[in-house]
Amino acid sequence: MRVGSKNFTEQLILGELLALQVERKTGREVSRRLNLGGTLVATKALQSGSLDLYPEYTGTALSAVLKEDLAGDARAILARVREAYREQYAIEWLDPLGIDNTFAMVVRGEDARKLGLKTLSDAARVKNFWKLGAGYEFQERRDGLPALAPYAIAWASPVRTMDLGLLYTALEQQQVNIAAGSATDGLLAARDFVVLEDDRRVFPAYEACVAARLDALAANPGLREALSALSGKLSNETMRRLNLEVDGKHRDPAQVAREFAESL
């Protein structure tokens, strides 16, 4: 059984959690293929059979993989992703884990207070000020920077792309003054940052689910039930706490996942 993940903290924790669940509930040996890379790398690995399953987000799948418009509520997005992945790739999406890891546009608390910022519309009224820091995929993904177009934010400089783990350090050190983070980032709860409300609702739902190959589910009795037992067991608040253990306290993602699994 081959369990994968993408290359950021939350994915490493979730990938390890899925691997532990498979081992404990089915007794099968698991090959961990974590920290693979971005969305397209992980998706291709799943499609080709190099992976049997990994955690993915509904909005990411709809936009970055299926190249479809991000219309509809969370339920509609999940339904469309399920239908398309099953028909096109023979991949099943199980029920959501409980996380909605949508994009979060983050500013320093001092800037939010000084400029009176609560929403992205507020930010758009501040001209030629914003220096955006973002992960490598954000600038090109339809659900990333292009989705912000309705706000007509006047950027003061080109987007500064960097590893996701460096975003909040760059924000604190004033290398950028707004960062494209994620709603479950652990450091949001631990530092003086403000998440600006997406008042135009340009970012869709990004519910975390297990995406698994149909042939793997069919060939491994009990696998579906083991994975489905994790549905609804997480929340954004829980995920922030787990992420903070890694990003803020520099703990091993595998150990953090192990402790959480033992609490279930």
Q: Tens of pLDDT along 16-45?
A: 999 999 999 999 999 999 999 889 999 999
User: For the chain, which residues make up each domain, given as ranges?
Assistant: 2-100+205-263, 103-196
Cα(24)–Cα(5) distance, rounded to whole angstroms? 19
Go through 230-246 and write b for each residue having 16 or more CB atoms within 10 A of its CB, e for each that does not: beeebebebbbbbbbbb
Cα(248)–Cα(244) distance, rounded to whole angstroms? 5
Fold of 2-100+205-263: D-Maltodextrin-Binding Protein; domain 2 (3.40.190)
pLDDT of residue 223: 98
Above 90 in pLDDT, residue 63? no
Query: Which ranges in the chain belong to alpha helices (H)?
Result: 9-26, 39-48, 58-60, 74-89, 109-115, 120-124, 167-172, 214-219, 223-228, 236-247, 253-263
pLDDT of residue 247: 87
What lies within 8 Å, CB to CB, of 235 at 6+ separation is 98, 99
**Cα 251 to chain center, whole Å?**
20
**97 and 234 Cβ atoms separated by less than 8 Å:** yes
Q: Do the two domains 2-100+205-263 and 103-196 of this chain adopt the same fold? A: yes
Question: What sign results for the dihedral spanned by CA atoms 72, 77, 81, 87?
Answer: negative
3-24: pLDDT as tens digits: 999 998 999 999 999 999 999 9
Cα(211)–Cα(93) distance, rounded to whole angstroms? 5
Above 90 in pLDDT, residue 61? yes
pLDDT of residue 84: 98
Q: What is the mean pLDDT of residues 66-92?
A: 93
Above 80 in pLDDT, residue 71? no
pLDDT of residue 225: 98
Cα(213)–Cα(221) distance, rounded to whole angstroms? 14
pTM: 0.80
DSSP state of 186: G
Q: Provide the 10 A C-beta neighbour count for residue 121.
A: 17
pLDDT of residue 189: 81
pLDDT of residue 109: 97
Q: What is the mean pLDDT of residues 233-256?
A: 94
Above 90 in pLDDT, residue 171? yes
Above 90 in pLDDT, residue 58? yes
Helix axes 236-247, 253-263, angle to 10 degrees: 140
* CATH class of this structure's domain 103-196: alpha beta
- Which H, E and C letters describe 115-170, residue by residue? HCCCEHHHHHCCCCCECEEECCCCCCCCCCHHHHHHHCCCECCCCEECCHHHHHHH
Q: What is the mean pLDDT of the chain?
A: 95
Above 90 in pLDDT, residue 184? yes
Cα(155)–Cα(159) distance, rounded to whole angstroms? 8
203-226: pLDDT as tens digits: 889 999 999 999 999 999 999 999
pLDDT band at 50 (very low <50, low <70, confident <90, very high): very high
pLDDT band at 170 (very low <50, low <70, confident <90, very high): very high
113-167: pLDDT as tens digits: 999 999 999 999 999 999 999 998 898 877 889 999 999 999 999 999 998 889 9
**78 and 159 Cβ atoms separated by less than 8 Å:** no
